Amino acid sequence: MNIQRKLLDTKLKIDWLLIILTFLLMSCGIVLVYSATQNSSDVFYKTYWFRQIIYFIVGSFAAAIISLIKIDYFKRLAFPMYFLSLAGLVFILFSGGDLVKGATRWIDLGFFKIQPSEFAKLAYLIVYSHWLAKHPVSFFNLKSFAVPTILFLVPFALVLRQPDLSTALVFIAISLSCFYWVGLTTLDMFLLISPFLSVLLSISKFAYSQFFWGFLICLVTLTLFYRKLPKLVTSVFFLANVFAGYVSSMVWALLKPHQQKRVETFLDPMNDPLGDGYQVLQSMTAIGSGGTYGKGFGAGSQTNLSFLPEEHTDFIFSVLGEQFGFLGSLLILILFFLFLWRALSISKLYEEPFVNLMVVSVTSVFFFHIIVNIAMTLGLMPVTGLPLPFLSYGGSFAIASVVMVGFLLAMRYQGGNR
Amino acid sequence: MYKKASKNEEKQDRNLKILVYLMLMFFFFGVIVSRLFYLQVIQFEENFNRSENNRLRQVILRAERGFVFDRKGRILVRNRPSYQVVLQSMSLPKKKEERDSVFVRLLKIHDLEGKFLFDSLSLDTAFQRANWIRNRPIQILEDATSEEIALIEERSSDLPGVSVLIESRREYPYGTLLAHVLGYTGEISEDQLQEEAYKNYSQGDRIGQKGLEFEYDEEFRGIDGLKVIEVNAAGREVGVIEGMSKEPVAGMHLITTIDLEVQKIAEQAFPDSVKGAAVAIDPRTGEIIAMVSSPRMDPNIFSLRKRDRNKEWAKVALDSTRPLTNRAVAGAYPPASVFKLVTAGAGLEHELIRENTHFSKSCTGGFQFGARYQKCWSSHGNLNVLHALRISCDVFFYQAGLLIDMPRINEFGERFGLGSKPLGVDIPGERVGWLPDSVSFNERNHRTGWRWTRGLILNLAIGQGQLVTPLQQAVFIGSLATNQGVYRPHFMKEIQTVDAKLVKKYEPIKIREGHMKPETHELLLKAMDMVVNHPGGTGKRGAVPGVRVGAKTGSGEWKKGEKTHAWYASVAPLDNPEIAVAVIMEASGGGGAVAAPVAQKIMQKYFDEANKEKETQ
Domain range annotation of chain A: 13-184+255-414
Note whether B125 and B186 are same-domain residues.
yes
Distances (CA, A) of B127 to A304, A306, A412, B97: 21, 19, 60, 13
In-domain check, residue B318: no
Q: Pick the residue from chain A with its C-alpha nearest to B91.
A: A303
Cis status, amide bond into B295, omega within 30 of 0:
yes
Instruction: Name the 3-class secondary structure at B531.
Output: helix
Confidence category of residue A2, pLDDT binned at 50, 70, 90 = low
In-domain check, residue B522: yes
pLDDT, position A112: 65
CB contact under 8 A, B246 and A274: yes
Q: Does the pLDDT at position A339 exceed 70?
A: yes
Note whether B537 and B569 are same-domain residues.
yes
* Percent of chain B as helix, strand, coil, to the nearest 5: 40, 20, 40
In-domain check, residue B321: no
B398: Cα separation from own chain's centroid:
40
- What is the Cα–Cα distance from B595 to B333, expressed in whole angstroms? 15
- The residue among A51, A59, A50, A68 whose CA lies nearest residue A23 is A59
Largest CA distance in chain B: 124
- The residue among A396, A312, A393, A404 whose CA lies nearest residue A365 is A404
The ranges of chain B with pLDDT < 50 are 1-3
- What is the Cα–Cα distance from A253 to A203, expressed in whole angstroms? 9
Could you tell me if the ipTM is greater than 0.85?
A: yes
CB contact under 8 A, B40 and A180: no
The radius of gyration of chain B's CA atoms, rounded to the nearest angstrom, is 34
CB contact under 8 A, B20 and A340: no
- Residue window 372-391, chain A: list those with CB within 8 Å of chain B: 374-375, 378, 380
- What is the Cα–Cα distance from A230 to A227, expressed in whole angstroms? 9
- What is the Cα–Cα distance from A37 to A52, expressed in whole angstroms? 12
Q: Does A328 touch chain B (CB under 8 A)?
A: no
Q: Does A45 touch chain B (CB under 8 A)?
A: no
pLDDT, position B134: 64
pLDDT, position B585: 94
- The residue among A356, A325, A34, A12 whose CA lies nearest residue B11 is A356
CATH of the domain at B90: 3.90.1310.10
Collect all residues of chain B within an 8 Å Cβ-Cβ radius of residue A371. Answer: 28-29, 32
Q: Does A238 touch chain B (CB under 8 A)?
A: no
Note whether B287 and B153 are same-domain residues.
no
pLDDT, position A416: 56
Phi-psi region at A108: left, alpha or beta (left = phi > 0; alpha = psi -120 to 50): beta
Q: Bridge-partner residues for B552, per DSSP?
A: B569
- What is the Cα–Cα distance from B597 to B257, expressed in whole angstroms? 23
In-domain check, residue B101: yes
Note whether B289 and B218 are same-domain residues.
no
Note whether B153 and B267 are same-domain residues.
no
Domain limits at B213?
57-256
Phi-psi region at B370: left, alpha or beta (left = phi > 0; alpha = psi -120 to 50): left
Domain count, chain B: 2
In-domain check, residue B481: yes
More reliable by pLDDT, A279 or A320: A320
Note whether B362 and B500 are same-domain residues.
yes
Instruction: Name the 3-class secondary structure at B380.
Output: coil
The Cα of B113 is separated from the nearest Cα of chain A by a number of Å equal to 41
Of B44, B135, B241, the CB nearest to A288: B44
pLDDT, position A399: 92
CB contact under 8 A, A289 and B10: no
Note whether B293 and B161 are same-domain residues.
no
In-domain check, residue B9: no
Note whether B167 and B103 are same-domain residues.
yes
Collect all residues of chain B within an 8 Å Cβ-Cβ radius of residue A141. Answer: 2
Q: Any idea which of A105-119, A274-288, B288-302 has the lowest mean pLDDT?
A: A105-119
Q: Does the pLDDT at position A265 exceed 80?
A: no
Note whether B203 and B234 are same-domain residues.
yes
Note whether B85 and B107 are same-domain residues.
yes
Note whether B251 and B167 are same-domain residues.
yes
Q: Which of B221, B256, B291 is where one domain is finished?
A: B256
CATH of the domain at B513: 3.40.710.10
Note whether B389 and B248 are same-domain residues.
no
A-B interface: how many C-beta pairs under 8 angstroms?
A: 127
Q: Assess contact for B425 and B329: CB atoms under 8 A.
A: yes
In-domain check, residue B145: yes
Which residues, 6 or more positions from B579, have their beta carbon under 8 angstroms from its beta carbon?
B280, B281, B282, B283, B289, B478, B571, B572, B603, B606
The Cα of A252 is separated from the nearest Cα of chain B by a number of Å equal to 22
pLDDT, position B3: 45
Q: Does A190 touch chain B (CB under 8 A)?
A: no
Mean pLDDT of chain A: 81
CB contact under 8 A, A348 and B131: no
List, in sequence order, every beta strand (DSSP E) within B129-174.
138-144, 162-171
